[in-house]
Amino acid sequence: MVSGKTDERMRISYFVRNMVTFTLLGAGVFLLLQAVVQCEFPATLRLERAFPANHPIELSHLRDGDSFRHQRILRGVTQLSVYGTYDPLVAGLYFTTITLGSPPKDYHVQIDTGSDVLWIGCKPCKECPTSSGLEIPVTLYDPSRSSTSSPISCSDERCSPSDKSNSCSHDWCTYNINYEDGSGTSGHYVSDLMHFEIFMDTESSINISASVVFGCSTSETGRLTKTKRPVDGILGLGQQGLSIMSQLSSQGIAPTSFSHCLADGGGLLVLGKAVVPNMVFTPLVKSKWHYNVNLESISVDGQTMSIDPSVFALNHDQTGTIIDSGTTLVYLTKEAYTPVVEAIKHAVSQSIQPLISKDYVCYSFPESYSFTTIFPTVSFNFAGGASMHLRPCDYLLRQISMSGARVWCMGILPSREEGITILGDLVLRDKVIVYDLGGQQIGWADRDCKFMYKIYIISFSIFNISAGGSSLRISCNQLILTVVISCIVHLTMMLFASFFHLFPH
């Protein structure tokens, strides 16, 4: 009988020890994983319900998202979150956050592929806004507060005399930049550190810093002074020597390409080449300033318009066709604007009549109508056989409703200058756009950029478990202390079980 009781106690002891071991081991591993993340080890995750049960997502979208992420990781690139929207009623611009100086400080800058210079509002600054309707802080760069900041002298080779915007003042290399909308900025160039996080593979990233030259703006004019939507500066992503891409690629910090995927409310900016399926490319036209492409024809509802291709060309007296993320709408040269808009109006004339006010062509129709079945598809056809197909939502802007009816206006306007066609954010959104400077080409592929942005947020944000509107956040010290206490309790219970086995009653 004693032997039977001893065997029973041994079985109980074995069961208790293993149950406690596996339970606390699992809890310990879970908490240690959280400690790794909270203590800023190389792995960071954010967990949330990415794919709601009531909003199914096609497998093709998931595959494309994985491809986008894998190619980004394998190429060792920097990825920046983008904020803003194409909608001029809300913001009419896209901006991102960069980090400059020592100690590092964050600055919000508009993404602009139509200019070259990165500039930041500086202390002291004349007419620089101090608040923003975009609900972001306005931060002025103070060269005296950064230990790595230094002014660029006139004798510095980076102060290019061939650039008409540059000049000299008291041996400082100064600049004066004017934009197409009449706004402008002036100041002097400085050199300071720019800080990046580069993702090397699926589990590691490195933080690096590079010395870059940028404008220290001491005076701003035009829309740059308005408080409705100001940012700290403009990130010029052009091709010239002082553009950030040119500076970083010459130092081996970034590839000779960058990409963006813009959505309504945000997106991604990748310093590197995003590779996604079904991407088409068209060659860049050699130009001194802009990202010019050869637009050959425009089609409406599958019918090619009778427009002389030369009106889109770049020559001595016209600017040609430009892809520009700093522009909101689409501007067609006058020879192209009239036939394109008339063709769109003709395609919808059987359904609804247009409301025309000055240069704006708008339509009002009940909420129950679907504009995707009313308006035609518009296609821009480029050299190399690449076409950019625009759905109605890609060229229409929703305006304030009137008496229960929706009002949509065309975001296609006549160009203010002769011989210039500009494709702005309205048609660039929900597309992965690749600026391949090394290959001298621009490519694009249709994608749900909101979905791409969610993939980025889930993959590379701070650890956060959310449920029912509440969240669980545990500090690093709390996590480590919890793991230590768990181990002590585990050992104590194992000793108790062993004592029960060795000294039966």
The model's pLDDT over 62-108, given as tens digits with 9 standing for 90+, comes to 455 444 444 433 344 677 888 776 666 556 788 899 999 999 999 99
The correct answer on CATH 2.40.70.10 for the domain covering 280-448 is yes
Three-state DSSP class for residue 283: strand
Percent of the chain with pLDDT over 70: 66
If one compares 264 and 340, the residue with the highest pLDDT of the two is 340
Point out the least confidently predicted range of 24-33, 148-157, 189-198, 421-430.
24-33
Contact 91/84 with Cβ under 8 angstroms?
A: yes
Are the CB atoms for 192 and 173 separated by under 8 Å? no
Confidence (pLDDT) at 45: 31
Sign of the four-CA dihedral 120, 121, 123, 126 = positive
What is the side-by-side strand order in the sheet with 303-304?
A: 303-304, 295-300, 378-382, 387-390
| CATH 2.40.70.10 corresponds to the domain 77-271 | yes
Residues 6 or more apart in contact with residue 248 via CB below 8 angstroms: 210, 212, 254, 271
What is the DSSP secondary-structure string of 95-163?
EEEEEETTTTEEEEEEEETT----EEEEEEEES--S--TTS-----B-GGG-TT-EEPBTTSTTS-TTS
Name the residue with higher pLDDT: 454 or 445. Answer: 445
**Is 112 one of the annotated active-site residues of the chain?**
yes
Q: Which amino acid is at 352?
A: I
Residue 224's SS3 state is helix
User: How much is the pTM?
Assistant: 0.72
The confidence band for 417, taking pLDDT boundaries of 50, 70 and 90, is confident
Mean pLDDT within 180-202:
84
Whole-number percent of the chain with pLDDT over 90: 33
pLDDT score of 150: 96
Q: Give the pLDDT confidence of 269-323 residue by residue, as tens digits.
A: 888 878 788 999 999 998 767 899 999 999 999 999 999 999 998 877 668 899 9
The two domains 77-271 and 280-448 share their CATH topology (first three levels equal): yes
Domain extent listing, the chain: 2-46+465-502, 77-271, 280-448
- What is the distance between the alpha carbons of residues 505 and 496, in angstroms, rounded to a whole number? 14
Q: Choose, from 64, 87, 112, 192, the residue flagged as catalytic.
A: 112
Of the residues 192, 232, 324, 430, only one is catalytic, namely 324
Catalytic site includes residue 324: yes
How far is residue 446 from each of residues 78, 111, 152, measured CA to CA in Å?
A: 22, 20, 42
Least confident among 147-161, 353-367, 428-442, 483-497: 483-497
What is the overall mean pLDDT for the chain? Answer: 75
